[in-house]
Amino acid sequence: MHSKELDALLTRVSKGDNVAFGELYEKTRRGVYAFLYTYFHNAADTEDAMQSVYLRVKRGIGSYRQGSNGRAWLLQIAKNLAYNELKKRSREIPTDEIEIRSENYEGSASVREIMEKVLTEEEQRIVALHVFWEYKHREIAEIMGCPTGTVTSKYKRSVEKLKKYLKEETL
């Protein structure tokens, strides 16, 4: 989704247009899901977080400035929600009760599963922001608070890791 289209939708939502809110959800949900999944690593928690993100968007739409970067605004809400939720959980769940994810995937693994298996959380976020949201490396660097060169090198390294994994799996 182009930034102007997203800005127009967010502006309509800010004026109380519920149809625009539905369009916003439909056009951004895959990207938001992919972004949140890099934090939660499971579908149930990611779905819960998505609902919370869109509720916060609806409630906080008054803070959106027309003409600003709507994608960054939306993903900042998602990022803040994920950090807050994970921080809350880290205080609530004893580490010995945390379920360890299986590293064995049977059959044809989804892109998400492969990314989770091969890449670090930070690399998953960079790839998700670039591929699903079509952010430039410079924009990702701003979102993540690191130099553009770091994002570029980590993205390239991530792609190489994925290529290597896929090549080994097909042999």
Give tens-digit pLDDT for 104-147: 334 446 788 889 999 999 999 999 888 888 888 998 998 888 99
Q: What is the pTM of this model?
A: 0.61
Could you give the CA distance from residue 51 to residue 46 in angstroms, rounded to a whole number? 9
Tell whether the model's pLDDT for residue 101 goes beyond 70: no
Terminal CA-CA length for the chain: 37
Helical (H) or strand (E) element with 128: helix 121-131
pLDDT score, position 148: 92
Longest CA–CA span in the chain (Å) reads: 55
Which domains does the chain show, CATH number per domain?
1-95 (1.10.1740.10), 106-171 (1.10.10.10)
What's the confidence (pLDDT) of residue 109? 63
The pLDDT, as a whole number, for residue 99 is 34
- What's the pLDDT score for residue 145? 87
Backbone φ/ψ region at 102: left (φ over 0), alpha (ψ -120 to 50), beta: beta
Summarised one tens digit per residue, pLDDT across range 30-82 is 999 999 999 999 999 999 999 999 999 999 999 999 988 999 999 999 999 99
Q: What is the pLDDT of residue 171?
A: 66
